[in-house]
Structure 1
Amino acid sequence: MLSDIPDVMRSRMHWPVAAALMQRWFDSPANTMSRAVKNGEVAPWSLSPSNVDERLVSMAWAMRFGRVKTAANELLRTWNSPKGLALLRERIARAKPPGARANWQVGNFSQPTRYLETTCQVNIKLAGSVTDPVDEYYAAIGRGVLKLAVSGTASQRGTGYRIEVAEYGLYLRDTYDFNDDPKDWFSQFLGNWGWEGLDTSPLPRFDIGLSAQYDDVPMDRYYQVQNNDFAAYRRQYGKGGDFVIFSDLMRFRPSQPLILDV
């Protein structure tokens, strides 16, 4: 029954992206994400391809949701904060070829977005919260991290640098897992699910089964789903692989040349 939720998302909720992400989790070998990976403390280019998804989430899809578009506009407007410029300076210094004084490239937007994380990503903004309406973005991402990267040409200027920014790029990073924080007393509640979809009313619900199919139960019955149900499924079947999500890159050009000294 638990593994039928992706089909309900597709057929009843019309949430193809959310369904595809959950289906990937069910179809993958068991893998529990470490806290270091979840918190972004592990270089993303070092992760196994089986633990990263760069295909299912697009920025064009994410920007359909008003809260993502609002966060994107805010990030584009305020990315060059003091912290953003300090990180940009680090990225420029790291990209500098030995002995170079002028005209070296910072940021290669032809690379997959996970490679931009440590080369030209300079600022972030949360996109989503636990109080948002329950829609496909909430089901697929919930609270993702919107990231801004820059691409341009840099030169040495005394002890600092000058960069002419040619493009910005926006992308989403999120982690797909059902792991409760060890400090939490209760497992995270993920809604009441039944054959007709998701019901958010506070009525008492049945506990969901791990192997029963919807054909075996009344069509109007709803089941309480929590993170620990997915953990139990992983233990029982050896399936259920956590993974890191990187969207594609949505590229923007400045309306006029932007030259920054950092």
Structure 2
Amino acid sequence: MPVEQSAPVVRAGKRDSLDKMVDDIERIANAFSRFRKWLDTPVQPDQPKAEGSKKEVPPFDIQQIPDAMRKEHMPISARLMERWFSGELNYSATLEDQRKEINQKGELYSESMIDRTTIKMDWVLRHARAKRQYDRLVNFDIYGSRAYETLKDILGRYRSRGDLSPWTVSDYDIRKLHREFQFQRAAVESSFEQKALQAARRLPNAGVPDDLTGALGAFNFYAAVAGVTFDVGNRKATVTHIVVYVRDGYSFEGVTDSRSQYLGHWSKNGVVIVPSYVAANLADQPWFDFPVVVGSTIANLYEPGKVYYPVRNRSFREWQTRHRQGGDFIIFSDYRPIMLNKPITVYFE
């Protein structure tokens, strides 16, 4: 994010005149520079202030975001981000590598980079937009032509066996079951910026995403074969049981310039959303980064948590590069087993 030059400060509220406050603005710009410098060096212990020293705008550490998330009622999001910060260096060079769970070394993600416990289907389905997509998946999408062709290809590999237990083949591991028997998905389109824009349109002073968006962003439900039978001549196979689950990659990929996905303006007290940032991001346009001061008095410039700093995906990638730590990982929720009222039969001839 471009911070070498002094950046304007925008107030999220009633503005005071800053015509005679050049020195204060310069201090804010310097604080923003210290935020950038923090990416290059570990945070040092607080030093005693020299007597008579000038007041300074407190810098921001992105490792404060999980605590800020909890203040915004986003506990699951906070837990996942803390896992990322504490993890060993791990990332995928491309989106395709992430889909295949291949890291920067060309190796399969280790088991330590798989989260199987944090996300629960019951929690996900309490969100109406997720429930709608789940219902669409299990009632319609699994019966579509694309799902049929995928099932035909998957089950055709096991046609000669005449008997198949997907769970046994997968060693009762959802990660392996997904790799071998997943045949349809449904997207929940709720990226951080899209959710923020929707909220900003409804409530001009709101825009804070909910915990589902903070945790998973835009994610997918997946359906995988869990039970199937073949006829005597192995000319057809009938899927009788499936499982549905969430799989998502927790990472901060994307472009590294000012079009990098905007994640909000953060301080230790929470997040504010600047609609102009969201609009620029959605239009894939570059945008100058600048801090936001919340409050109505100049004293807020020096209050910890009152200055909010723009955070993007690249902020985490830069932190990861500088500190050689921070692990992208794959999320699997628990799964919902479903016995199909309308079994799916595929024909091989």
Scaled to the shorter chain, the TM-score interval is: 0.7 to 0.9
RMSD over aligned Cα atoms: 2.8
Equivalent in 327, 339, 346 of residue 241 of structure 1: 327
The 1:244/1:106 distance shift into structure 2, 3 A limit, reads closer
* Runs of at least 5 residues in structure 2 that lack an aligned partner in the other structure: 1-60, 200-208, 277-288, 293-301
Pairwise CA distance, 1:161: 1.4
Name which of 49, 67, 73 aligns with 2:111. Answer: 49
TM-score (norm 2): 0.63
After TM superposition, give the deviation of residue 75 of structure 1 in Å: 0.4
Residue 48 of structure 1: how far off its partner (Å)? 1.1
Partner Cα distance (1:250, 1:172) in 2: 10
* Structure 2 residue identity aligned to 1:127: V
Indicate the residue corresponding to 1:63 in structure 2: 125
On the 8 A contact 2:67/2:268 being kept in 1, the answer is no
- 1:163 counterpart = 2:223: no
1:219/1:179 CA distance change after superposition, 3 Å: same
Alignment of 1:1-262 (within 5 A): 1-10=61-70, 12-35=71-94, 36-40=96-100, 46-78=108-140, 79-96=142-159, 98=160, 100-101=161-162, 103-107=163-167, 111-130=172-191, 131-132=194-195, 133=199, 134-156=209-231, 160-165=235-240, 167-181=241-255, 186-202=259-275, 205-206=290-291, 218-254=304-340, 256=341, 258=343, 260-262=345-347
Structure 1: runs of 5+ lacking an equivalent: 208-215
Structure having the higher helix fraction is 2
- Whether contact under 8 Å (2:255, 2:314) holds in the other structure is no
Q: Distance in 2 between matches of 1:18 and 1:172?
A: 15
- Please give the TM-score of this superposition, normalised by the length of structure 1: 0.82
Letter in 2 for 1:7: D
Shift of 1:185: 5.7
Q: Aligned partners of 1:63, 1:115: CA distance in 2, in Å?
A: 24
Misfit runs of 4+, over 6 Å:
none
Residue 168 of structure 1 deviates from its aligned partner by 2.2
Distance 1:235 1:261, change over 3 A: closer
Deviation of 1:33 (Å): 1.8
- 3-state SS of paired residue (1:146): strand
Give the C-alpha shift of residue 158 in structure 1.
5.4
Q: Which structure has the larger Rg? A: 2
How far apart are residue 221 of structure 1 and its match?
A: 1.9
The match for 1:213 is: none
One-letter amino acid matched to 1:244: I
Residue 91 of structure 1 contacts residue 106 of structure 1 at CA under 8 Å; is this kept in 2? no
Task: Report deviation, 1:240.
Answer: 1.0
CA shift in 2, pair 1:157/1:129, >3 Å = farther
